[in-house]
């Protein structure tokens, strides 16, 4: 990017904050970054999991063992491997092991429905899947419809200290399907899988920055789930950008709440943290009690979360008299942070002796995670901040794609080294989303409307494409509507997000039944259809039936009216 403060007005803020815009990016693999970090910080603690600590040296050794096991089952460079795990040491180990052998890690939400998992398997043509024990039956149930050959399973309790493990099985384990050493020919335990690599020697693949490294699943501009293709360079370019904007060091520890299947969780909370020798406190599933305990006992210096987390944070009764001076950095992403919530969080931190203020990040999975953040100085209320160094952002007219003047509304567009290479099996949608402009650069069209002021600060206004964000997760109404409309009793449907004090939004389905079909006769079967095909976090919490859908004056569905209707048939 040329240093022209007129064309790139945010560079003035860089000068104020001492941010360098002259960055170098590693062309190596993600594994290579981890390997180099482990050599520098071998005695540092890389992962902490319910009191058990794993050093960088030990983590690297375990990754190498796992990589050999992958080679033993003939996982080759370029092959796709499904990882469907919460935040556990095994998930981190498998992720980097897949990378080490040159394969592609396809990250899947463990709460995904069978139908979604089937789609992911078929889209990626994955032959190997690594999943948490309570999810493996979903994979078994749809295995014959895919190319899946082997399922590797692990419990979230594998790396827990023995006392914690006993409590886990006592209070939760009996509700899960505990895996024996081997279940059938296609399913194998984590421990047995690792033993397979004993006799393997060469396992490290030669990769370059442009090679495909990760597939994260999200909705494209059509609202249907899409695999987002991300390269080694996409992730590695994020590292110096984060360093300039946040200045984390090897002495920091980060609370790993955001999941590995989330771009922010994988790119910032995991890959960046491990690249600088920091410690990650892994949490497989968020609960307020665990969150409180982690703050009081582990004392992480960095917290990265979604607005829902911070809403819970400021209402933690267990933190009433706790000194939080150890917290130095607080970042919010995944959804819009309201000015009111920011004020409350900042006040809560100050009242508990922390000098940190919450900083809001903006980004998309299509550029790994954040590409803009509110600066440490000169915060502007309502702004999502300024672009990361190395990234460019501009506001374009939705129809003409021409850049608009400061203060005018248009589509937020992004260019830079973290922008995805495209959508998996989605050439036409890739062309719509990644467009070459008259300046010769490729620009990511976000589908978000916003403005830029004369100082280069971005202001998000609304989304062009239909999307619901609930507890930080993206939900695409069109995909759920397609499932609802497949029910033999449904004439049409609309899925909207309604306000929720905790989740920000929750999912609501508004349904018009076919003539003669009665609500009481089909409600339960509609709910079951959704449960089979929709991820748990995206399931409608309300089902409302109408004779007809409200329309605007020009005949389009009136989504605003539907978002404000009352609650009926709540789950």
What pLDDT does residue 162 have? 63
- Exposure on the CB side of residue 441, measured as CA atoms within 13 A: 15
Question: Where does the pLDDT of residue 384 fall: very low under 50, low under 70, confident under 90, or very high at 90 and above?
Answer: very high
Between the alpha carbon of residue 23 and those of residues 15, 237, 268, the distances in Å are 15, 9, 17
Task: Look at the chain and count its residues.
Answer: 571
Q: Chain-wide mean pLDDT for the chain?
A: 88
443-480 core/surface letters (b: 16 or more CB in 10 A; e: else) = bbbbbbbbbbeeebbbbbeeeeebbbbbbbbbbbbebb
Question: How far apart are alpha carbons 186 and 406 in whole angstroms?
Answer: 58
As a whole number, mean pLDDT of residues 291-309 equals 92
Question: How far apart are alpha carbons 81 and 193 in whole angstroms?
Answer: 14
How does pLDDT run across 333-367, given as a tens digit for each residue? 877 788 888 999 999 999 999 999 999 999 999 99
pTM across the whole model: 0.83
Q: Is the dihedral of CA 331, 332, 338, 340 positive or negative?
A: negative
What pLDDT does residue 33 have? 97
What pLDDT does residue 165 have? 52
> 3-state secondary structure string, 451-462?
EECCCCCEEEEE
What pLDDT does residue 365 have? 93
105-123 core/surface letters (b: 16 or more CB in 10 A; e: else) = bbbbbbbbbbbbbbbbbeb
Question: How far apart are alpha carbons 566 and 325 in whole angstroms?
Answer: 44
What pLDDT does residue 176 have? 44
- Report the share of the chain in percent with pLDDT over 90: 66
As a whole number, mean pLDDT of residues 13-36 equals 95
Domains and CATH numbers, the chain: 29-207 (3.40.50.980), 468-563 (3.30.300.30)
What pLDDT does residue 223 have? 52
Q: Which residue has the tokens 């940190």?
A: 356
Question: Is residue 166 scored above 60 in pLDDT?
Answer: no
Residue 325: how many CB atoms within 10 A of its CB?
A: 13
For residue 112, what is the DSSP state? -
> 3-state secondary structure string, 352-396?
CCCCCCEEEEEECHHHCCEEEECCCCCCCCCCCEEECCCCEEEEE
What pLDDT does residue 174 have? 42
């Amino acid at each position: 990017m040329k240093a022209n403060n007129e064309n790139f007005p945010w560079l003035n803020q860089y000068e104020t904050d001492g941010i360098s815009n002259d960055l170098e990016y590693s062309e190596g693999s993600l594994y290579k970054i981890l390997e180099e970090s482990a050599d520098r910080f071998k005695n540092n603690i890389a992962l902490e999991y319910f009191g058990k600590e794993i050093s960088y040296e030990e983590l690297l050794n375990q990754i190498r063992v796992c990589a050999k096991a992958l080679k033993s089952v003939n996982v080759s460079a370029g092959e796709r491997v499904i990882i469907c795990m919460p935040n556990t040491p095994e998930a981190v180990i498998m992720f980097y092991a897949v990378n080490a052998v040159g394969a592609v890690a396809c990250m899947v939400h463990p709460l995904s429905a069978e139908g979604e998992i089937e789609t992911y398997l078929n889209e990626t043509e994955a032959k190997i899947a690594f999943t948490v024990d309570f999810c493996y039956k979903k994979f078994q149930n749809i295995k014959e419809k895919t190319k899946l050959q082997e399922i590797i399973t692990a419990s979230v309790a594998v790396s827990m200290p023995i006392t914690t493990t006993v409590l886990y099985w006592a209070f939760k384990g009996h509700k899960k399907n505990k895996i024996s050493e081997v279940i059938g020919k296609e399913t194998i335990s984590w421990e047995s899988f690792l033993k397979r690599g004993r006799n393997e020697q060469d396992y490290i693949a030669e990769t370059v920055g442009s090679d495909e490294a990760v597939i994260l699943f999200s909705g494209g501009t059509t609202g249907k789930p899409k695999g987002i293709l991300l390269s080694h360079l996409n992730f590695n370019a994020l590292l110096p950008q984060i360093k300039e904007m946040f200045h984390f060091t090897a002495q920091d520890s980060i609370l790993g709440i955001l999941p590995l299947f989330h771009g922010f969780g994988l790119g910032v909370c995991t890959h960046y943290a491990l690249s600088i020798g920091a410690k990650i406190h892994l949490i497989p599933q968020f609960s307020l009690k665990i969150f409180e305990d982690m703050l009081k006992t582990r004392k992480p210096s960095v917290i990265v979360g979604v607005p829902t987390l911070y809403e819970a944070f400021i209402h933690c009764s267990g933190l009433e008299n706790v000194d939080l001076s150890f917290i130095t950095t607080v970042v919010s992403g995944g959804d819009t942070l309201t000015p009111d919530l920011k004020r409350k969080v900042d006040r809560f931190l100050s009242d508990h002796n922390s000098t940190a203020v919450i900083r809001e990040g903006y980004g998309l999975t299509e550029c790994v995670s954040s590409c803009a953040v509110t600066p440490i100085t000169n915060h502007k209320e309502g702004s999502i901040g300024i672009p990361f160094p190395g990234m460019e952002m501009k506001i374009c007219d939705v129809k003409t794609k021409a850049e608009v003047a400061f203060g005018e509304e248009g589509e937020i567009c992004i260019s830079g080294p973290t922008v995805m290479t495209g959508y998996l099996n989605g050439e036409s949608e890739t062309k719509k989303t990644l467009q070459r402009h008259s300046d010769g650069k490729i620009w990511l069209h976000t589908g978000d409307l916003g403005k830029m002021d004369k100082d280069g600060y971005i202001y998000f206004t609304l989304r062009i494409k239909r999307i619901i964000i609930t507890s930080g997760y993206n939900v695409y109404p069109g995909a759920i509507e397609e499932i609802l409309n497949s029910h033999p009793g449904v004439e049409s449907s609309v899925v909207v997000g309604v306000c929720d004090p905790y989740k920000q939004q929750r999912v609501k389905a508004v349904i018009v039944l076919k003539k003669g079909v009665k609500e009481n006769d089909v409600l339960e079967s509609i709910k079951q259809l959704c449960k089979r095909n929709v991820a748990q976090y995206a399931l409608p919490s309300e089902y409302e039936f109408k004779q007809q859908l409200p329309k605007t004056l020009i005949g389009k569905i009136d989504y605003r009216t539907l978002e404000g209707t009352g609650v009926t048939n709540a789950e």
